[in-house]
Structure 1
Amino acid sequence: MPRLTLHLFGLPRAELDGRPVVTDRRKALALLIYLAVNGMDYTREALATLLWPDQDTHHVLAYLRRTLWEINQTFGPGWIRAERDLVGLSPDAREAIWIDVNHFRLLISQSRPRNDQPETIFLLEEAISLYQDDFLSGFYLKDASLYEEWMTSQAETLRHDYLFALETLARNYAKRGDLPKAIEKAAQWAKRDPLNETAHSFLMGLYAQNGQMSDALRQYQEYARVLALEMQMDPSPEMRAMLETIKKQAFQQPSPPPFDLKSLTTRFNLPESPYATSFFGRRVELAELEKLLKDPQTRLISIVGPGGVGKTRLALEVGRIQANWFTDGVCFVPLAAVARPEYIVSSIADALGVRFSSSEIRSQQEQLTEFLHPRHLLLILDNLEHLQLGSTVVSELIETLLHNAPYLKVLVTSHERLNLLQEWTFYVKGMPIPDADDANWSQFAAIQLFLQNVRKAAGVLHLTESERRAITRICRLVGGLPLGLELAATWTRMLSCQEIADEIERSLDFLKAPFRNIVERHQSLRATFEYSWNFLNQSEQETLMRLSVFRGGFKRDIAQSMFQADLATLVDLADKSFIHRDENGRFDIQQALKPFVAQKLQQHPDLEMSLTAHHASFYASFTAEQCRALRGHGQRAALDELNAELDNILAGWNWALAQGRSDIVLSFYEGLFRFFDLRNRFQDAEALFAHAVEQWQTVADEQDIVLGVLLACHAWFCNRLSHITRAHQLLLHSLTILRRLNARPHLMFVNGLALYVVPMVGDMNEIEQIAQETLNYYQEQDDRWGMAQILPFFHRIKTPQSLQEAIRLHNQTLDIYRETGDAAGLASALTSLGELLHYTGDYESALHCHQSSLEISSELNDRRVMAASLDYLGFINRQIGKFDEARQQHQQSMQLSHELGNALGIAGSLDNLGLIALDQGEASQALSLFQQALSLRRESGQIGSVATSLEHIATAALQLNNLSLAQTCLEEALELFAREPEWALTSRARNRLGDLERARHNLLAAEMHYRTAWREAQEHESVLVLLDSTLCLADLFAAQGNVRQAVQLAHYVAQHRACEFVMRQRALKLLDNLHALFAETDWSDLIHTKLTILSLQNILHN
C-alpha cells in the first residue's frame, strides 16, 4: 500500500507517497490522527463519544460509520480495520504510516539513556527540527470537547519533551565548548519557556562566558519584564546576584574542551567516497587546512596540485572533519562535468537544493547570493581548472559570493590558483615515500595505498625484500601521486613489481617535470597514462578512443550498438582503471584520463570526425525514437532515458549545429523540445534554442527549415516564461519561413504551437485557417495524437456560443489521450475540460477534472500543470465558500509558478487571492493583489489576462467607491476584450459598468448594461455571468420598486445550483430585506414557481 506521512506539529498535513492529501473532512482526519498517534484499537462507542460527546448513541454510531467511510474515500482503502466492536489501524497501515510526532518521541526516548554522549546531539537536533509548532496547533473540531482535551494533553507532553531537548542540547554544546551553538539552543529554550528562571540564568551565563556581557544584561531585563507582566513578581535573589556578578565581569572565558568532531556523523551533502580505497595519510595537510578554516580572516582556500595528486579526496576528508563546525554544514559541488563557467551558479544551486524563481529582475546569481548571505557554510568547488581558462567568470563569481555572504568559506580544488587577493593557496604534493629499509615502511600512506590496490587487482602479494625495494622504487617513480600508484598497481596481475618499476623508468620522465607549469604537470601525468596505454592491445585502444566521444558516460548496450564494445572489453578496461561503472550501471572513462584519451583520438582527425558524426547521428535517432515514445504509454520511461543521456544528446546537438548538419538537427529538435517542456525546464530550453538560432544563422546561407523550427521552439519557451510579445514575433517569423518552403510536417508542428501563442496577443484572424489546415493534415496521416492537440481549439473558432460542443470536443480529446497513453496530454486536457465544466456551473465535475489532473501531473512532476490545477481548484473552492482551502491552493500554485519563472501563473494566483479577499470584504487588500497581477500581465503582453485584471481592479474600486478608477479600468478592459473576444469576461465587465452607473444613480443606464450582459450570457451559455446579471437586475428592480420581479429573480439566483457562495449570500440578504419591508405580502406563489430561462425572459420583458 502507499506510504502515508502525517505532519502533526502545527496544522495537520497528510501526504500519500509524497503527494499532499487535500480534504475538508475534519472529523475523518481527526479520527485517523487519533488512531495513528495512539496505535491502539478502540471500541466504537469510545470513538463515537470522543468525537460527538453530546449526542445520543444511535446517531453517533452512524456518524462514526460515515467518518470511517470518509477515511477510505480520502486516503484509499485498507487503512482502517473496523470489526464488529473494535476499530483501529490495519496491520499493513501500521507499517505504512510515518508520523512526525511518533518519530519525535522515538528520538527523545533514544536520547535519554545517553544524554551526555556525542550521538545525543544528532538525535535531539533531528527531534527539534521536527517540532515546527505545538501539536495540532490551529486545528479545531466543532463540538468535540473530549478530543480537544486529548489534543491539549498530547501538546503539553510533547512541549515538555521539546524543552527537554533544547535544554539537553544547550548543556551538551556548552560542555564541548561550542558556545555559539549552546547560546542558540539556550535562547530557543528561554523563548519557548519564558517563565523558566533556569533557562534564562543558563543563557545569561553562556553569554557572559562568550564575552557577550551586554547580551547577558539584556536577557536579564527581558526575563524581569516578562515575570513582572505575567506573574507580578521580581527575579529571585540568586538571579539578581548573578546579574551583579556579570556587571562586575567576574566571568572568565574558559578554553573550550577538546571535541572530537570525527565522532559525529556528518549530515550534509558530502558524497560517499567515489574511490575504491580508504583515505590514507595527509595528516599534516589536514591539520593545516583545519587551522586555515578556523581562522576568521581566511575565507578562500585553493587546494592546488597536478592531476592525480588527490585534491578531491583531500577536500572531501576536510569537509567530513569540519562539517559540524559550520552551522549550515558543508556543500560539495562537483564541477568536472560542467562545460562552461556560466553554469557554475546552477551547479551550486543544485548541490544546495535551491530552486530559482527565474525572474528578469533578479538573476540566478543574485538569488544564489541572497540564499548564501546568512549562512555559515563551507562550499567546496571541485575540479575548477577547466572553467578558469580564458575567463574571469569564475573568479568574479567567487569574489561576489564572498563579498555578499559574510559567513561563507570557499574551498577550491584546481590545477592552478585563482590569483585573487584574498586567496590562500594550499599546494598538494605527492605522498611521502620511505626508504626501503625504513622500520616504519608499511605505515607510510603511499605504501598502504599501493598495497591495497594490489590486493584488489591481484589478491595476495608476498612481500619479499626485492618486492619492498621495487614498490619503494615505483612510489618514487610516480612521485607519490595516488593516481599513479593506483594505475601502477593494476599491472600486478601480469607483471612483478620489479617489472613494473622497470617499465615506468623506461617510459616516464615524471620526476623531471617541474610542478609549477600546468602543461608540464599534465605531461608528467601523461607519462603514467602512456605507460598504461601501451599495455592495452590495439583493439582496446581503438575501443577507448571510440568511447571518448561520449559525454556524461554511456550505457553498455549503447556502447555495444555504436562501437561493438562488448561487456568483456568494458570489464578489461575497467580492470585497468581506464573506465569505471557507477551505481546506476553507466560506464565512463576516468575523469583524469579523458583529456589524454581525447588527445589520442585527435591524432587521427579522420577517425575523430567519423566517430563524432556517428555519435551525433546515433543520438539524433535515439532522441527521435524517445520523442515518439513521449506520446504514449512509454512516456515516463522515455523521459528518464532522455534525462540519462542528455549530456550525449546535447553534445550531438551542438556538433550538428556547428557543422551545419540540417538532417541531424531536424531529427533532434522535437525530442529536445518535448523533453524540456515536459520536464518544465523552460529557462534552460529558452537559452538552448536561442543559442541554436544564433549559431545556425552563422552557418546557414539562407533562411531554411532548420531556422524555422528553431525559431518556433525558441518562441514556445519564451511563451512559457510569459514573454508573450517576443514569442509572437518569433512564431510569425517561423511561420513565414516554413510556409514559403512548404515544409509541411514541420509547419504542422509549428501550427500546433501557434494555436496556443497567437490568440494570447489578440491575433485571431488566422487561427481558424491554421487549426483546420493542421487538423486536416493529422487526419490524412491518421495521427490521432496530433488530432488531440488540435481538437480543443475548434470550440473557440467555430461555435463560440456552444459550451456543450466544446465539452464534446474535449471529451473526444481525452479519449485519444487515454487510448494513446499520453499522461501529460491527459492531465492538460482534464484541466481544460474542468475549466469548461466550471463555466456551466457543474462545480462537482469540474473539481473532479482538476483533482484528477493534479494527481496525474504530480506523478509526472509536471509543475506547470500542477500549478494550473491548483489554481482552478482554489478558484472553485472559493466559489463554494471554502476560502481557507482555496487560499492554500492558490499559494501552492503561486510557489510552483515562482519556481518555473511563470509570471502569468504568478499573476493568476495573485488575482485569485485578490478575489478571496474581495469576497471576505477586504477590498483594499484585494486591490493591491489585483494591481500586482496587472503589472505582471502587462509585461507579458497577454491581452485577455490584462483585461481580466483590469475588470477585477474595477470591482475592488467600486467597493472602495473609487468610481474614476473603476471607469478607467472598465473602459480599457472592454477595449481589450474587443480585440480578443472573451464572451464570458466581456459580459461580466458589462455588469460592472452597470454597478458603476448605479453608484452614480443612473439607474436606466445601469439597467441597460445589465440587460445587455444578460442577453450575451444567455447566448453564450455562460451560467455564472447570467446569474451575476440576474442578481444585479433583481437588486436594481428592488430599488426601482419592482418588488415582485426582484423577488422572483433573487429567488432564482439563490436556488440555482451554480450560484457562488457570496452571490447566494447577496441574494438571500436581498430577499430577507424585501420580506422585512413587505412583511404582509404573500410571496409563496413566486417562490414555489420553478423559473426557466424563458420565464426569466418574460419577467425582464415585462
Structure 2
Amino acid sequence: MDSKDIITLVVALIGGIATIVAAIITTRKKDKDNKKLSEDNQKHEDNTDEIETAREKAKELTDFKEYQTNISINGQDFFGRKKDLHEVKSLFLNSKKRLITITGTGGIGKTRFSKEIGLDLQKNYSGGVWFVDLTETTTISGIAYEIFEVFDRRHSSNQTTDTHAVIELLNHRGKTLLILDNFEQIVELSNQSITYWLDKLPDVDFLVTSRTPLKIAIEQQFQLSPLEIPDKNETDYEKIVENNSVKLFTCISKRVYPNFTLQENDINTLNSIVSYLEGLPLAIVIVASRIKYSNLENIEKELSNILNLSQRNRDTHEKHQTLYDTVLWSFNLLKEVEKEVFLKLKVFKDGFTLNSIKKIVLKNDDRLIDILDSLIENSLIYTDRTEQELRYKILIPIQEFINKKSEVYFQKKILNALEKEYCNFFYNLSIKHRSTLNTRSSIDALSFEMENILHTQDLYIKNFEYEKAAETILIFVEVLTLKGPTSLRIPRLKKSYDTLSDKHTETSGKLKLELIKTHLSRGEWSLAESLIYKLLENNQYLENIFEKAKVFMLLSTIASNYGFLKRSIYFRIKASEIFKMTESSVQLAECYIGLGASNERLKNYEDAMNYFSLAEEIAKSENNQVLSIKIHNRKGLAFWHHGKPSLGLKEINAALRLSNLMGNNLLFAANTTNKGLILSDLNRIDESLEYFEIAETFHRELRTLHWASVNYGGWGRSLILKNNNLQTRKAIDYIKNSEKIAREVYYPEDLAMSLGDLGRAYLQLEEWRNAYEAVSEAIYLERKMGATDEHRHFCNLVVFGQCCFILDKKIELWETITRANDLINVIGIDENYPIRKAAMDFLKLKELSLKSKFPILSETPIVLKNLNLSSKFFSNLPNLIKKVSKNEMYEYPWFLIEDSLKERNIKSIKLFGYGSLINKASASKTINTKSVNEYTLASGLGFKRLLNYNMPDEVRKRSLYNNPIGELYNGLFNVEYTGSVNDLLNGVMIDVTVDEFENLRKREIGYDLLPIVCIPHDKETDEYVLAYTLSCSDRKWGERNLLNKKLLPHKTYVDLCKEGAKKISKEFYEEFLRTSYLADGKTTLQDYKFPIR
C-alpha cells in the first residue's frame, strides 16, 4: 500500500464551544533504493520529534477547560508593572487573600491593571473572572443590577433582596473572581455588599478598584504607583525607548497618528515629557494624543497648558475624561478644611514633611494628621519614606490642579502670607544646618528639600529680598557641590549675583567667591580668574581678612591647575598666615592639604607628608570627617605617585569608607576613580574596570567634568592592559571621551594624560603615525606645564621613542632616549606595573637604537653657525632648553604674572616677537616706540613658528584681517614648543613694561606667555637670554578652536610680517622664510606661493 501524508484532526467540543486542535503527522514514502535507507531513517527520527510535539500540544488543549470571562481589552496594550502583577496574583494564590483593593489616584491605570490581573488569573478560577463596571452605581440595587448584567441575567427585586440575589447567582458557579471597578463613590456600601458576600460565598474572591480604601477588616490594600520613567539625565536611545512610559506614549501616538516615528534626535525631548508627567498613564494618553496636531518640541513647551485643557478621553466615564476632572471628583469628596489644606500645598515643590506643613500651612493644629490621612485615602497625595522621616508628595498633574484651583479659591493676600511663611521656614532650615554641613544628616536634610530651597530663592527674588535670596543659595550651593546636580550651581549663583552685581556688599563678595569656585571645578579658569579681579575691587568684602584669605586660596587653586605649583604654594602660605591669625582651624587644615598636594607634585615628598600630618591633627581635634576624607585621598595619591600603590590603596579605601558613611557623593565618586587608577597600576585590571564603571555613573550625575575625564582615561588605560585588539579599540573610545572633555574645559594635565594613553593604544594597534601625533602633544603639554608626573612622562617618552624608531625620526629618537634615560635613574623601578613594562620596552628600544647606529645630533643650524658659539655651549643647549621649559608659563590673560612682577617691583619683561611685532610700525601701536626702536635681534630655541592661529571673532573684525582670500586663509603666526635644539626661529626681543600689558592683552587674544631661551645676534660670546614668547594652545575661544592645522596664511598679515623682516636685513628675511611654516608644519613660507586673486 502506497504511503501518503496522513492528517489527524483532533476536535474538542467543550461547553458548547468548539476548540479545534490540528496535529499534522507527516510520514514519507519509503524509497525502494537501499542506498537512501539511512537518509530515510534520519528523516523518520526527525518526524518522531515533530509527532511528540504535536501530541503534547494536543494533550494541552484536550485538557483545557473553558476560561469564562467578559474581560475585553479592545486591543489596548499593557506596559510594565510586572512586579505589581506578580505581587497581586501572589496575594490571591499564595496568601489566600479574598479581598484586594487596588487604590491610586484617578488616571493611574487601576482599571486596566485589574483587567490584566483578571486575564492572568483565568485558569485559576473555574467559575470565571468577571469584570463589573460600577462607575454609574450609587446604591446596593445598582451594584446587584450591574453584576446580573455581566452574567446576562435579570434579577427581580420583589423575589428576594438584592444582596441575597447575588448569592443565589454565584453560589454554585465554583471558584470565581469578581472585579468591582470604580467603587470609590459607594465605599459606604462595602459592608452591606462585599463583607456580606465574602461571608456567604466562600468560593468567590473580590478584586476592587477604588481611589479610597474600603476600610473593612478583611481588606488587603494595594497602592498602585505610576509607571516607571527614564532617568532624566539618560541619553542612551535604546534604554529610553525600552522604558514603559515611553512605550505607552509611542503606542498612543501611533494610534492617533499612524505616521508617527520616534527619531533618535527626539529622544531627549520625549524623555523630558514623560518625566514631567511622572508616569501617570492618563496624563501620557492625553499628551500623546496631541501628536496628531503638533510635534514633540511644541508639546514639551505646552505641557502645563495641555494638562489644564478640557481635552476629553472618550473611552472613559465623564469623571475620568480629563485630568482636571479626575482630581476635581476626588477634591469634591473632601471636607472644607481638607480642601483648604490641600490647596495650600500649592507652595511646596517636590513634597513636604509633617514638620514643614505644621509650621507653614496649619499652625500646630491637632486635626492635621487626620486631614493628611484623608488626602492619602482620596489618592490626592502619597507618602515616600526617606532614611530620615516620612515625606508627603504630590504628582505633577495634581499639582497643576492645585495651582489652578488655588488662584480662584484664595484671596491674593492669603497666598502672599503663605509664601512668606514658606520662605521663612526654609531660610531658617538652611541657617540651622549651615554649621553642620560636614555631617551626613545635615547634607541629607537639605538635599531632600532641594526644590523647596531653590523655590525659596525664586520667591525672595520675586519679592525683591535679594540679600536673603543670596544667603539661601550660598548655603545650599555646598549641598549641590557634594550631592549634585552640580550643573545647577552656576545658574543659581548667577541668578542672585545678577541682582547684586552692582553692589559691593559682603554678600555679593561671597557670591563671586562661590561662582569662582564653581568655575574652577568645571575647569573654566579664565572665567574664574576674571571674577577674582572683580572680587579684588570689592573693598568692603576684602576688609574682612578672613574673606581675603579665601581669595588667596582661589588664586592658589588656579595656579595649581595651570601647573604653577610654586605660585600656588605662595598664595596658600599667605592664606594660612591669615587663618592662623583668625584661628580658623578648618580653613587652615584645607590650606595644609593644598600645600601638601603641591609639594607632593613638586617631589618634595617629606614636606608634603608633614603638611598632611598637620591637617590630620586638626581633623581629629575638630572631628571633621570631610577633612579626613580629603587627607586620606591626598596621602593615597602621594603614596601612589611615589611608587607605593599598595599603601596608596589603603588610604583611598579609608577615604571611600568615610565618603560612603557621610553620603558625600562628590568625594565618593572621586575616590572611586582613584581606586580604579591604583588597581590598574597594580595590574588588577578586572577590579579596576568595575570601579571605573561605578564612578562613571556618579560623575555623569554630578557633572564633574574633570573627574569624568580622569575616569574615562583610566577606564581606557585598563582596557589597553588587557592586551586585546578588540578591547583596545573600545579603550580608544573611552580615552577620546576623556580627551574631548579635557579639551573643552582645557585642563592640561588631564589632556596630557589622555593623549599619552591614546598614544599607547595606537601603538598597540601598530598605528604608528596616530601614536606619534598623540603622544608628542602629550609630551609637549607636560613640558609646558613644567611640573608633571615623572612616571607618566617616562611612559610617554618610551612610546614616543618607539614611534620615532619605526618612523625613522633619528634626531627625535636620540633626544627622547637621552631624556628617558635621565628619568629612569630618578624614578627607579617599583611595583607600578605600567612603569615596569615601560622600563622593559625602553631597554629594548635602547638596544635596537644602538644596533641601528643612529647619529647623535644633526648638522648645526646655519643661523647658529654664524654666531660663533663654542661647541661646549652648543652641546649644552638641549639641557638648557629643558631647564627653562620648567619655568612658569602664564595662561592668557596673564594676570598672575602682573601680580608677580608688581610684588617683586620688576618693571618689565623681555618679550620675544616673531610675527607682526617684527614690523616696527605694527609693534609701535601696542608698545612704546623707544622699546620698539631698541629691540634686539635674536633666535628663539625649542619652538617652531607656524601659521596655525585661528583668529577669534574679536580679531577678525579688525581692519587688517577683514579681507581674506577665502575662509581658510585666516592663519596667523603662533609658536609651538618642541624642546628640540633643531627647532629655532628668528625674531626680536622687546622690553614690555607692566603698564603695557593691558594693550598687549587686547592685541594678542588667547596667547599664553611661555619661557623661551633666546640667543642674541649682537653677541659674539656664549650668552643666552631668558625671555617670554606668545604661544597659543589648542583650546576653544567662543565657538572656535584657537588652532587649526588646515588653515592657510592670511595674505595681508603675512605681507606685513615680511615687510618688517625685509627692513631688518636680507639674511634675516631669508631665515624668517626658512623657519616659518604653514599650519601643516611641513611647508615653509619660502616654498609657498599665494594664489592669484
Q: TM-score, normalised by structure 2?
A: 0.48
* Bigger Cα Rg: 2
Which structure: greater helix fraction?
Answer: 1
